[in-house]
Amino acid sequence: MESKPVVLVENLHKRFDAAHVLKGIDLAVDSSRVVCVIGPSGSGKSTLLRCMAFLDRYDEGRVYIEGRLLGYREVDGKRTPDSDRNIDSVRSVIGMVFQHYNLWPHKTALGNVTEALRVVKKLGKAEAEAIGMEMLAKVGVDDKAHDYPAQLSGGQQQRTAIARALAIRPHVMYFDEPTSALDPELVGEVLQVMQELASDGMTMVVVTHEMGFAAHVADEVVFMDGGEVIERGPPDDIFKRPRSERLREFLDTWRSRTI
């Protein structure tokens, strides 16, 4: 029996007033697969990820998470926005990591990781902290558990944010340019954690400018430009045998900036 994709996106459209930023995107992410979305700034790749989490409301099309429609209810072909409770329920299997970490500065690293375990999963303090420490150890910041975000480096903050997302045992992880805000020397430690996650079989959707990561870790690379998917395929095809002019130009620009 063929299993359903963890994430299925069908003909997704998004408009911000007059700007049509997503023009009919289709995407299927199967279990334990890593999909990297690349493309120039403003191509709509972050918006796609945000719509796939319903942080931005999409206008047309559908997003299914493990077979459940996200964000809307459809009765007799009529679509109405879903309740917060249902939206929370559908996306409870998604862990998300943001470009700017979005840690809560008034809580320690451990406090950030245990918050959802205490409030959403209703775990006791000891149990939540045991899981929290396990997650922090997994990303290598357990020695900083009692530090506040301001006391951590950018890389440590992002790894804590990954631990926070992992704590709820997601079935799929979304990464929205997770290394773009980091100093160059801190990028590697975050990519390494992501690579380990991928090796462990985590299903991942990664919006990134890290072509090296996409080339080595992705099962599928999706190239977006102007709100459309221009090309998709295995990393070897995308990076070594680009078919479209736009992808060739994009890769040339990237190579000319890389020493």
Element (H, E) at 252: helix 245-257
Q: What share of the chain is helix, strand, coil (3-state, %, to 5)?
A: 40, 25, 35
The binding site for another protein (CB under 8 A) comprises 53, 55, 84, 88, 91-92, 94-96, 98, 100, 102-107, 115-116, 119-120, 148, 150, 161, 164-165, 168
User: Whose Cβ is closer to another protein: residue 98's or residue 213's?
Assistant: 98
* Alpha-carbon dihedral angle through residues 173, 159, 178, 69, given to the nearest 10 degrees: 20
The span from the first CA to the last CA of the chain, in angstroms, equals 47
Report, in Å, the least distance between residue 119 CB and another protein: 5
Distance CA 53, CA 71 (A): 9
Q: How far is the CB of 157 from another protein (least distance, A)?
A: 12
- Least distance (Å) from another protein to the CB of residue 110? 13
Nearest distance, CB of residue 159 and another protein, angstroms: 15
Please report, for residues 9, 104, 149, 152, 155, the alpha-carbon distance to residue 108 in angstroms, rounded to integers and kept in the order given: 36, 8, 7, 10, 16
Minimum CB separation from another protein for residue 240, in Å? Answer: 35
The answer to whether 63 and 234 are in contact (CB under 8 A) is no
Cβ contacts of 102 within 8 Å, gap of 6 or more:
161
Residue nearer to another protein on the CB measure, 103 or 247: 103
**In the bound complex, what is the minimum distance in angstroms from residue 43's beta carbon to another protein?**
21
User: Which residue's CB is nearer to another protein, number 151 or number 253?
Assistant: 151
Q: What are phi and psi of 76, to 5 degrees?
A: 50, 40
Tell me whether residue 126 or residue 150 sits nearer to another protein (CB atom). 150
E-assigned strand segments in 30-152: 34-38, 60-65, 68-69, 72-75, 78-81, 94-97
Minimum distance, C-beta of residue 93 to another protein, in the bound complex (Å): 10
Q: Which residues are registered as beta bridge partners of 176?
A: 207
- Cβ closer to another protein: 205 or 238? 205
Secondary structure of residue 239 in the 3-state scheme: helix
Q: Which is nearer to another protein, 131 or 161 (CB)?
A: 161
Considering the complex, state which of residue 117 and residue 247 has its C-beta at the smaller distance from another protein.
117
